[in-house]
Structure 1
Amino acid sequence: MDKLDYIKIDSKLSVSKYKQIVNSIVSSIGDGLLKKGDRMPSINAICSRFELSRDTVLAAYNDLKSRGILSAHPGKAYYIESTNVDVEQNIMLLYDELNAFKEEMYNSFIKRINGKANVDLYFHNFNRKIFDYLLRENNYKYTAYVIMPTQFTDIAEIIRELNGKVYILDQLPIELKYRYPAVYQNFDKQVYAGLSEAKHLILKYRKIIFVYPGGKEPESELRGFIRFCKEIGMPFEISSDLVERTPRQGEAYMVVNDQHLVEIVKLARANLLEIGKDLGIISLNDTPLKEVVANGITTISTNFGMMGEILAEQILQKKSEQIENPFSLIVRESL
C-alpha cells in the first residue's frame, strides 16, 4: 500500500490540515501500518496529492520530528524513527558538565518525568562552539530544550531560533530574564545570606579567603562574598588557587570546587591545624561526600534534587514561570 494512502485530509473538519497529517501518521503507527525505518512520502508528494502548501506539510513533519517520531536523512528523505507515539514530549537537556550535584539534579528530573517524556542528555563543557553547534544541530528535533547557558553572552538569538519550548536552568543571564521559563540559582543572594547566617561562626576567625578560580564560576558568587565581608568589616582575600599557600591559624576558607576542598583539607593537616577550630572551611554546593570529609564540611548550597523536580514539573504541566530555587546553610564541624 502506498504510504500516501495512510495520510487522511478532510477539508470539512475544523482540525487544521497540518494537525490532520500528524494525527493520521500517529494513528497509522498505532495501528501497526507504519513501522520503524519506513520511508515516508516526500513533502512534494503530499503537497501534490492534497493540494497543500509546503509550509503546512513541513509544519507537520517538524512536529513529528520534535517528538522523535520522524527523522530527516541526507537528501531530505523522512523515516519513521520511533513508534512510541504515546510520549508527546521529547526533551533535549543541555548541561554544562556532569558532577556530583548536577547528577543529583538529573536523577531527580528523570524520576519526576517518570517515563512521560523521552530525554536526551548533552554536554557543552563550557565550550561556546560546542554549545552553538549542539543547539543548531538539534533544532526541530525536540519539543522542549532545557539549557544551562552558564556565563555565555549574546545567546538570545540562537535560543530564539529553536523550534520548541525553551527552559533555562541553573544560571539565568540578564539577556534571557523574563523571556523563558527557568529554574535558577541566585548566587549573589545565596552566598551573602549563607555567610550572614554563619556570621557567628565566621567571626571566630581573623580573616576569610575565597578561593575563586573564575572562568566558569558565576561572578555573582564573588559579589555576594565581598558584600558580606565589607558589611561586617571582616578582613578578606580572593585567591584563584592554593598554589604556594600556607594556611595559618585563624583563617577561614571558602571554596567553590572539590579539588580546592581536598587541597585545603590536606594543607590544614600538613600544617597541624585543626579544622573547625584553628582553620575554618566552607564549601559551595553540597554533596553526600561532604557529610563525612574531615568530620563534615559546612556548605552553602541550593537544593539540586528540588531543582530537578521543579524543572520536570514545569515541563509536564507546561508552565512558564521563572523560579528561584531555594538554598540553605548546612553547618558541620569544619566551621
Structure 2
Amino acid sequence: MKNFLKILKIDESSLTPYYRQLCNAILQGIDEKLISEHDILPSINDLSIALDISRNIVTKTYNTLKKSGVVSSVPGKGYFISNVKLDKPVKVLLLFNKLSTHKKIIYDAFAEALGDKASIDFYIYNSSFNYFKKILLEKQDKYDKVVIIPHFIDKIDNACDVINQIPKEKLILMSKLVKGVEGDFGAVYEDFANDIFDALEQLLPSIRRYHSCTIIFPKNSYFPTDILIGFLNFCKQYNCEYDIVSDLRSESMCKDTLYISLTEDDLVELINLLLEQGLKMQEDIGIVSYNETPLKKFILNGITTISTDFEFMGRIAASIVLNNSRDHIKIPFHTIIRESL
C-alpha cells in the first residue's frame, strides 16, 4: 500500500479546517501524480491514529471527496481513489490580520463562493509584519492566488516592498489598498476616509442633537488613519466640536456627546460607563459603532452602526480569484440607524 503519511499532513499553524487540509492534500497529491486512480486510502481508524485527529475528521474528508467524485467506497473494503481526471482547483493562500466576527463573515462568504473550485489555506498573522513576511516567503510559491487583508501595527512602510514581490497575476488585496504596491492586480477595497465621512453625513440630523463628537481611536492599532481623516473632515465641514481619545479608561464620559467606537472592546467599555454613571442613551449620549455584527441590533435596544458590507467583500474577492480579474472594486458602506443615536 502507498505510504499516504508522506502526502497527508496537518499544518497546525493554519486555520484551515483539518478535513479541508486533508482534502486539499489528496487533490494536490493527485495533481502531482503522487496519488493514482484506484489507490486504496488508509482506513478511517488508521489515518486518525497516524495523524492524531478524530475519526470524524477523516470521515468528513472522505465524504467530502465522495461528493465531488474523487473518492468511492466499497462496504467492508474501505475507500479508494475513483477519479483523477478533475478540473484543477485554484490553490489560494488566504492571509487575514486577525480573527473577529466580521472577518468570519468575510471568510464564510469567500469560501462559499469558491466552493469546490478552489482550495484555501488560511493563516492569521496577528497584524504582525514580521510574521506576515515569514508566511509569504515560506509559502507563496505554492499557490495560484495570494489573497491578503493588509493591516499591520508595525513596519507599515515596509509592507509594499514585501507585497510587490508577489507576482501581480497572483495578488488580490482585500479591505485595503497598500500605498506603493504597483502593477496590475485584483482588489476589493474600502475607501476609509470617504466612507466614514459619507456615513456621518447621513447621520447629520441626529448628530446635531449633540454638543460634540468623540472618536475612540486606539493607539498602536491596525486601523487606517484614513478613518481619522474622514472624521476630521466631517467635523470641520459641519462645524462640529470634536475630540479624539485613545483609551476610555482615562476619560470620563461627557453628556451631550456622540461617541464613535471602532473596536468591540471600546463599545463594551462605553456601555459599562454609561450604566455606571446612570446616563441615558439618546438623552445624555449617543453611540455609533464601526462595523456591523449580529448582536448590535439587540444591545440596549440597538446600536447604530456604520459598516462595510463584509459578505460582499468575501463574494467579490472569490469572483476575482475565479475570473483571474485585475479589477479594483470598492466595497459598499452602510449606515444602520438604531436606538443608540
In which range does the TM-score fall when normalised by the shorter chain?
Answer: 0.7 to 0.9
**Residues paired across the two proteins, number:** 266
Unaligned runs of at least 5 residues, structure 1: 1-24, 38-82
Aligned to 1:192: 197
Quote the offset at 1:33 in angstroms.
8.1
Is structure 2 residue 237 aligned with structure 1 residue 204? no
The structure-2 alpha-carbon separation of the partners of 1:191 and 1:315, relative to structure 1 and needing over 3 Å to count, comes to: same
**Aligned pairs for 1:3-42 within 5 A:** 26=31, 32=37
Distance, in Å, in 2 between the alignment partners of 1:178 and 1:204 is: 47
Unaligned runs of at least 5 residues, structure 2: 1-29, 43-83
TM-score relative to the length of structure 2: 0.73
**Aligned pairs for 1:71-220 within 5 A:** 86-151=87-152, 152-162=156-166, 165-176=170-181, 179-215=184-220, 216-220=222-226
Quote the offset at 1:94 in angstroms.
0.4
The structure-2 alpha-carbon separation of the partners of 1:157 and 1:242, relative to structure 1 and needing over 3 Å to count, comes to: closer
Distance, in Å, in 2 between the alignment partners of 1:107 and 1:260 is: 26
Distance, in Å, in 2 between the alignment partners of 1:34 and 1:142 is: 26
Distance, in Å, in 1 between the alignment partners of 2:85 and 2:95 is: 23
Secondary structure in 2 matching 1:254: strand
- Between the aligned residues of both structures, percent identity stands at 30
Quote the offset at 1:137 in angstroms.
0.4
Is structure 2 residue 300 aligned with structure 1 residue 294? yes
The answer as to whether partners of 1:146 and 1:168 remain within 8 angstroms in 2 is yes
The answer as to whether partners of 2:129 and 2:159 remain within 8 angstroms in 1 is no
Aligned to 1:312: 318
Secondary structure in 2 matching 1:101: helix
Residue from 246, 258, 261 that aligns with 2:267:
261
Q: Say what the alpha-carbon RMSD is for the aligned residues.
A: 2.3
**Aligned pairs for 1:221-260 within 5 A:** 221-260=227-266
Aligned to 1:46: none
Distance, in Å, in 2 between the alignment partners of 1:101 and 1:180 is: 24
1:90-147 Cα shifts (integer Å, max 9, x gaps): 0000000010001001001111111211001101111111011000000311110001
